[in-house]
């Protein structure tokens, strides 16, 4: 299986953008506020460099390449799931009841995805690839749903979201949507469409990386204030009814979770 010049171009561009993202994350101090997103980008960069070395020095069909490839895929799968949870925490942590319920929902979603993946891989000839492919597909679908719900809740209740968090969520949601579309189309058109789909996937990832890079370059390290931190005068003049609804919901959720 030979790589096309276009593949090398995608590979090089992705590696450069990942490195730039990590540099700017460090410069802005975002590695302290978004540690799992930082870890995820570091793992992707490491996986890209390792794949380049394995492809040219070891060979695509070598067992070492197989095990390292799927090991990195498993690590990236876990890291991507943690990034999604981190975005929710970064946005909702100021509301203890809502965030506690959100954590339970995220944990339940992860458990269901793992059980489905285990069920599909059980007894399969290629159990590890089957498990990871199934988990990846499920995670992409869950990512789109979770991000849409998160953004809808923030919009309805006017929960402040940091721009860097918002644009990272946009990038993840966009890339996940493309992945879902490609996996679905692959089942229809079969393996003959793999080269074209691979290019679309790589291009969509570069767009997501570009979105993340722009977000971290423009980011400023700051803490998003919750409604209780607003001065009383501003609080009364802006949107008291919305904040009151949010506080009631937060209190009610705490009562339910404690009871």
**Interval 5-27: pLDDT, tens:** 787 888 899 999 999 999 999 99
* Amino acid 190: pLDDT: 61
pLDDT-based confidence at residue 135 (cuts at 50, 70, 90): very high
Rounded to whole angstroms, how far apart are CA atoms 122 and 173?
30
- Which pLDDT value is given to residue 235? 43
Q: For residue 38, give the nearest of 140, 150, 164 by alpha carbon.
A: 164
Is residue 93 scored above 80 in pLDDT?
Answer: yes
pTM summary value: 0.82
Residue 223 pLDDT greater than 70, yes or no: no
Burial of 184 (0-12, 13-18, 19+ CB in 10 A): exposed
The C-alpha angle 58, 60, 66, rounded to 5 degrees, equals: 95
* Alpha carbons 69 and 133: distance in angstroms, whole number: 13
CA distance 221 to 131: 38
Average pLDDT over residues 190-202: 74
Q: What mean pLDDT comes out for the span 148-156?
A: 90
């Amino acid at each position: 299986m030979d790589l096309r010049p276009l593949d090398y171009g995608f590979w090089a561009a992705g590696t450069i953008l990942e490195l730039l993202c990590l540099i700017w994350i460090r410069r802005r101090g975002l590695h302290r506020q978004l540690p799992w997103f930082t870890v995820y980008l570091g793992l992707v960069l490491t996986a890209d460099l390792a794949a380049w070395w394995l492809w040219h020095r070891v060979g695509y069909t070598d067992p070492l390449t197989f095990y390292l490839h799927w090991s990195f895929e498993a690590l990236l799968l876990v890291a991507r799931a943690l990034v999604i949870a981190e975005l929710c925490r970064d946005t909702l942590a100021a509301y203890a009841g809502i965030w506690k319920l959100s954590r339970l929902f995220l944990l339940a979603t992860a458990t269901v995805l793992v059980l489905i993946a285990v069920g599909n891989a059980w007894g399969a000839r290629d159990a590890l690839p089957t498990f990871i492919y199934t988990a990846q597909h499920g995670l992409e679908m869950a990512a789109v749903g979770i991000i849409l719900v998160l953004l809808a809740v923030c919009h309805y209740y006017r929960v402040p979201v940091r721009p860097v968090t918002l644009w990272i969520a946009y990038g993840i949601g966009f890339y996940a949507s493309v992945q879902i579309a490609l996996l679905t189309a692959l089942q229809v058109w079969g393996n003959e469409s793999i080269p074209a789909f691979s290019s679309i996937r790589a291009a969509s990832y570069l767009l997501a990386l570009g979105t993340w890079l722009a977000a971290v370059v423009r980011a400023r390290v700051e803490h998003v204030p919750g409604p209780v931190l607003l001065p009383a005068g501003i609080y009364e003049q802006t949107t008291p009814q919305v904040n009151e609804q949010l506080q009631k919901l937060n209190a009610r959720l705490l009562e339910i979770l404690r009871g």
